[in-house]
A and B are shown apart, each in its own frame.
Chain A
Amino acid sequence: MENYDFEKLIQAVVDGESEDALELVEDALKRGVSAYEIIDMGLVEGMKIVSDRYDRKQYFVPDLAASAEAMTDALEQLKPLLEVQKEKSKGTVVIGVVQECSQEIGKNIVAAMLSGAGFKVYDLGINVTPRQFVDKAREVMADIVGMGSPMLQTVKYFAETEQLLKQEGLREKIKLLVGGAATNRSTPEKTGTDAWAVDGNEAVKVAESLMEQLRGVQ
């Protein structure tokens, strides 16, 4: 691979064109580009442009979701190649939308962006109970549990998950990152969790900072 031109792949992510992204990933692999280069120089670069446009209010949630879908599909295609390089993972995240909730758009975007940024992400989907979060976190030795709550009445499940982690002796090893339409910067303080992020972009930065904290503890 010499001087592979990532521009088309970047554009496919920016435009949220999954099929184009998949074809371009296939093409890049055939030309000898490594999975990590495709992620770093194609997918992540594309998502950076998307995030920037979102911050500047040129892009909105549907644009973000389409790009996240393109990125997730491309990552799925690359997954078998990434498994062998697991040690390069920035950290392990278990993510999901809490019990009684079925709105997963924000969570999907965060999961895609964390994956793209190099985290190993286990997505539990929607309607996830505190017990399911804790069991999965134990099983995969998670560093971070990410929880989303789009509704006010379900924010209580953040605290319940935190308590359950504590009861099971896992709390010191696992950081809790929360978000969702019904949350704000004061949510961690109220729920005993560690950090909050407004969107996928910030979630990546916050997750990296939480990993730093964990390494500090170790």
Chain B
Amino acid sequence: MRSTEKIDALAEQLHQNVRNSGEYLTPLERFNSVHIYNSVPDRLLAWAFYREYPRYLVNYTVKDIETDHLKECESLLAGLVEFGYDTVWTNVDVYSVIPEVWGCPISMHEDAVSVPVGAVIKRPEDLEQLRPIDPYNDGRLSVVLNSIALLREKIGDIYPVLGHCTGPVSLASILRGGSKFVVDVKKRPEFVARLLDFCADQIITFAKAQLDLGATGVHMADAAGSPSMVSPQQYEEVFMPAYMKIQKALGHLTPSGARWHSQSGFETLDDLEEFLEKSLIAGNNIIHVSTPWSLKLDIVAIQNLCRKYGAVLWFGIDPASFANLTPEQLELQVKEYIEKYAKDFEGYFQIGPNMLNDTSKPELVKAYMEAMRKYGKCPVG
């Protein structure tokens, strides 16, 4: 069977599965209920961050799905059929595809996600040599766009199709080199402001193209943009303008807007709530916490902030749970989290593996979804 025929068969299977699920809402309606209306859905939104994980179901390598949109779509759809979570994301190697356009060296692997391994801005003046991206013609950006268009065509009526883009700080950090970038923040703040502004423009261009092709929203991953990387003043004065520019440009283009999260590190901030409030004011609409260490945080205070700004708490379960627990233990863990944290916040909450990876056991991913169907019915409790 050709790849396009397999995709058609998988999409048909997904339509059947949704029709026969016995659940009141489709995954898209569930997503909209939470992300557009902040209203209580029929069941908690099962958010699954899985990227390359389901490729084993269709026998592709990571490189295959990073370079061929048909293979990427087949892998993503096979994952949805097998596990039944509520969201689908494109762009496996979110940190590589844009830097690659300007010749940033990328290390590609058969069984690991590609990584940028060299900077292209050796001196600050090199920034002036970088031309704006053309998302329809440059490098592998079209792989991402073609995936979105195809997924939207095949399952866009029942599933949210999420675009994916690197955030401005990560992009700037890759282009300049991580260490040099962070030293620049101290020594050359004017250059960093110009670099971040340039990066924000490229992200807006790429995200707009994704939205034009039917992405329900665009998720921005910004691992290097953690507030723990810089001082609160630097975060506000140097990083925030880039985030606000992106949000201003994209927020009105889709009901659910552009979205990003601070990947890690904010758990350590003394003034956590103050930071999160600033981030929400800047337009962030997902706050991502991850177990086990986030359990020390005042989750209810964070949820109240989410409610105030119409944002959603992404409650990420430790990947180790999907590698080391028994299905029964995982079921109990999911039950406990739901009862403790989702009650009264169902319209501001999504829960799922923080990240599925090759150590995740398929039977545990299934156990998670079964627990979601069993304990995640809304209103909770």
Residues A104 and B179 in contact, CB atoms below 8 Å apart = yes
Residues A62 and B183 in contact, CB atoms below 8 Å apart = yes
Across-interface contacts of B127 in A (CB, < 8 A): none
Residues B112 and A63 in contact, CB atoms below 8 Å apart = no
Across-interface contacts of B324 in A (CB, < 8 A): 190
Is there a chain A Cβ closer than 8 Å to B19's Cβ?
A: no
Known: A101-B115, A102-B116, A127-B107. A57 touches B293 (CB 8 A): no
Residues B173 and A103 in contact, CB atoms below 8 Å apart = yes
Residues B182 and A152 in contact, CB atoms below 8 Å apart = no
Q: Which chain B residues in 97-130 approach chain A with CB under 8 Å?
A: 107, 109, 112-113, 115-117
Is there a chain A Cβ closer than 8 Å to B357's Cβ?
A: yes
Is there a chain A Cβ closer than 8 Å to B223's Cβ?
A: yes
Is there a chain B Cβ closer than 8 Å to A140's Cβ?
A: no
Is there a chain B Cβ closer than 8 Å to A151's Cβ?
A: yes
Residues B186 and A16 in contact, CB atoms below 8 Å apart = yes
Residues B226 and A181 in contact, CB atoms below 8 Å apart = yes
Q: Mark B154-182, 1 if CB is under 8 A from A, else 0.
A: 00000000000000000001100011001
Residues A62 and B186 in contact, CB atoms below 8 Å apart = yes
Across-interface contacts of A65 in B (CB, < 8 A): 179, 182-183, 186
Contact partner of B186 among A66, A99, A101, CB < 8 A? A66
Tell me how far the C-beta of B163 lies from the nearest C-beta in chain A, rounded to whole angstroms: 20
Is there a chain B Cβ closer than 8 Å to A153's Cβ?
A: yes
Is there a chain A Cβ closer than 8 Å to B354's Cβ?
A: yes
Across-interface contacts of B293 in A (CB, < 8 A): 184
Residues A103 and B178 in contact, CB atoms below 8 Å apart = yes
Q: Which chain A residues in 98-138 approach chain B with CB under 8 Å?
A: 99-105, 108, 126-127
Contact partner of A66 among B183, B230, B234, B359, CB < 8 A? B183
Q: Mark A52-74, 1 if CB is under 8 A from B, else 0.
A: 00000100111101100100000
Contact partner of B115 among A60, A102, A181, A190, CB < 8 A? A102
Residues A102 and B234 in contact, CB atoms below 8 Å apart = no
Residues B115 and A150 in contact, CB atoms below 8 Å apart = no
Tell me how far the C-beta of B355 lies from the nearest C-beta in chain A, rounded to whole angstroms: 5
Residues A152 and B354 in contact, CB atoms below 8 Å apart = yes
Of A66, A102, A156, the most chain B CB neighbours within 10 A belong to A102
Residues B320 and A108 in contact, CB atoms below 8 Å apart = no
Bound CA–CA A52/B127 (angstroms): 35
Residues B185 and A62 in contact, CB atoms below 8 Å apart = yes
Residues A104 and B264 in contact, CB atoms below 8 Å apart = no
Of B116, B178, B234, B292, the most chain A CB neighbours within 10 A belong to B178
Across-interface contacts of B178 in A (CB, < 8 A): 102-105, 108
Residues B112 and A99 in contact, CB atoms below 8 Å apart = yes
Is there a chain A Cβ closer than 8 Å to B224's Cβ?
A: yes
Is there a chain B Cβ closer than 8 Å to A182's Cβ?
A: yes
Is there a chain A Cβ closer than 8 Å to B95's Cβ?
A: yes
Across-interface contacts of A99 in B (CB, < 8 A): 109, 112, 115
DSSP class of A's interface residues: helix, strand, loop or mixed? loop
Residues A181 and B265 in contact, CB atoms below 8 Å apart = yes
Across-interface contacts of A105 in B (CB, < 8 A): 178-179, 182, 229
Is there a chain A Cβ closer than 8 Å to B20's Cβ?
A: no
Q: Mark B166-209, 1 if CB is under 8 A from A, else 0.
A: 00000001100011001101110000000000000000000000
Bound CA–CA A152/B51 (angstroms): 13
Is there a chain A Cβ closer than 8 Å to B270's Cβ?
A: yes
Is there a chain A Cβ closer than 8 Å to B379's Cβ?
A: no
Bound CA–CA A155/B324 (angstroms): 14
Smallest Cβ-Cβ distance to B117: which chain A residue: A127
Residues B113 and A100 in contact, CB atoms below 8 Å apart = yes
Is there a chain A Cβ closer than 8 Å to B26's Cβ?
A: no
Across-interface contacts of A61 in B (CB, < 8 A): 182, 228-230
Across-interface contacts of A182 in B (CB, < 8 A): 264
Known: A66-B183, A100-B112, A104-B179. A152 touches B319 (CB 8 A): yes
Bound CA–CA A60/B228 (angstroms): 8
Tell me how far the C-beta of A44 lies from the nearest C-beta in chain B, rounded to whole angstroms: 20
Bound CA–CA A155/B187 (angstroms): 32
Known: A126-B117, A127-B115, A127-B117. A156 touches B179 (CB 8 A): no
Is there a chain A Cβ closer than 8 Å to B358's Cβ?
A: yes
Q: Mark A133-164, 1 if CB is under 8 A from B, else 0.
A: 00000000000000000111101100000000
Across-interface contacts of B234 in A (CB, < 8 A): 60, 62
Smallest Cβ-Cβ distance to A180: which chain B residue: B264
Tell me how far the C-beta of B287 lies from the nearest C-beta in chain A, rounded to whole angstroms: 17
Q: What 19 additional pairs, Cβ within 8 angstroms, besides A61-B228, A181-B226, A190-B324?
A: A60-B230, A60-B234, A61-B229, A62-B186, A65-B183, A66-B187, A69-B179, A102-B115, A102-B117, A103-B178, A105-B178, A105-B179, A108-B178, A152-B264, A153-B319, A153-B357, A155-B319, A181-B223, A190-B320
19 contacts between A and B (CB under 8 A): A60-B229, A60-B234, A61-B228, A62-B186, A65-B186, A66-B187, A100-B113, A102-B178, A103-B173, A103-B178, A104-B178, A105-B178, A105-B182, A126-B115, A150-B264, A153-B355, A156-B357, A156-B358, A186-B292
7 cross-chain pairs, A with B, having the tightest CB-CB distances, nearest first: A62-B186, A60-B231, A62-B185, A153-B357, A65-B182, A153-B355, A127-B115
